[in-house]
Chains A and B, each alone.
Chain A
Amino acid sequence: MHRFANPTRFLKIAAAVQPWMAGLTIILFGTGLYMAFFTAPPDYQQGESIRIMYVHVPAAWMGMFCYAAMAVASAVALIWKHPLADVAAKATAPVGAAFTFLSLATGSLWGKPMWGTWWVWDARLTSMLILLFLYIGYMALQGAFDDRTRGAKASAVLALVGAVNLPIIKFSVDWWNTLHQTSSFMKQGGPSMPPEMWIPAVVMAVAFKTYYVWVLLVRIRQELTANKVRILRLKQVHGG
């Protein structure tokens, strides 16, 4: 673990892995979208609107996955003062926020023709909106302090406290009456749809994950470089 903790070593590995992640993302995303639009059949009730699901469901998973990653990285940063953990958590937030927004937007587009409304304040939709606000709050809090380390600490605490929302999102459809349907994927006896429907969704989900790793590496590398520049500038100021 500590072998990868070294930022110099990390930068070396990141530079090697990054193009692979970029390639994988493009291939998987292309395949997933093609399957979603062309090979997947329409649904007997929803018709072609089911194709929204191939973006909506993987995006919602990503929103939760990124938050979990951000919370774990924040915990590592708080407890072990790991230099990379802090940067990783910070880099994860905008990605998670973007996918959470995407899932809310696509869900709304699906809701209008299927449910008859763009939005309803049920437990699933509301807890997902809170997730988006947690991301926005996390990013805002980070920049709210003059002292960067204090901003990092405060936002890490927020990330950890907000993690209680994750099980609420997941189980909201089981615990309470909601307009949102229960999970079609994570249920006993496998997904409640044929493979030609769930495989494109899984391909899209994997494509989103490789995209995340790709963007994470880009942003961590950029952040580490920016840190170096900052230190050099400080040296200049104090030296001159």
Chain B
Amino acid sequence: MAMKRKHKRLTFVIVAMALVGVATGLVLYALGDGVSLFHSPTDIVTKAPDPNQSLRLGGLVEEGSVQRAEGSSSVHFRVTDLENSVDVVYEGLLPDLFREGQGIVTTGKVVNGTFIAEEVLAKHDENYMPPEAVDALKKSGQWQGDAQNANTGAAK
């Protein structure tokens, strides 16, 4: 009798856990991209969001696209997911990691196809390396720049 009760409880826990798991899975599936922190440049280009709606854009700072206006802290650059890219204007201090080829996430609004940024955050990739190793790679010509670390998730 005691054994039977244990079995009942075991079955109950397993079934309940499975149901909770399925329910959570369905909720997350329904939320879908809503859970994602940012939109890719392709999303912005194809969906043309409402200019009054604040949103986040994530991707790589396109090589050779950064232009700083003289005499002001205004910066122009393009954010790309290697398929599409979006013009971004930002006024303010950029994080230390900001540079061409770097993954960033920026908050702002899309006005006439240009992203007016209010905040720019730098993304860090999962690759860590001592400075000497980078120098050695650069010397031997095997350094592929920051593009090798281009895992921003935006290209997915």
Contacts and interface: CB of A to CB of B under 8 A. Distances in A.
Main secondary structure of the interface of A (DSSP, over half): loop
6 contacts: A43-B131, A44-B130, A50-B128, A177-B153, A183-B126, A193-B128
A184 B95 contact: no
Interface string A178-217: 1101111001000011101100000000000000000000
Nearest to A185: B126
Interface string A148-180: 000000000000110110001000010111110
B134 to A, nearest CB: 4
Contact of B126 (A46, A121, A181): A181
A117 B39 CA distance: 19
A75 B15 CA distance: 13
Interface residues of B, number: 43
Nearest to B129: A44
A177 B36 contact: yes
A164 B23 CA distance: 10
Contact of B124 (A181, A183, A192): A181
Nearest to B99: A45
A116 B134 CA distance: 24
Contacts, number: 116
A231 interface: no
Contacts of B133: 44, 194
In order of increasing CB-CB distance, the 3 nearest A-B pairs are A116-B95, A41-B130, A193-B128
A2 to B, nearest CB: 13
Given A41-B130, A160-B13, A178 B153 contact: yes
A79 B5 CA distance: 9
Given A164-B20, A164-B24, A184 B36 contact: no
Contacts of B94: 116
A193 B123 contact: no
A114 interface: yes
B9 interface: yes
A114 B37 contact: no
B131 A44 contact: yes
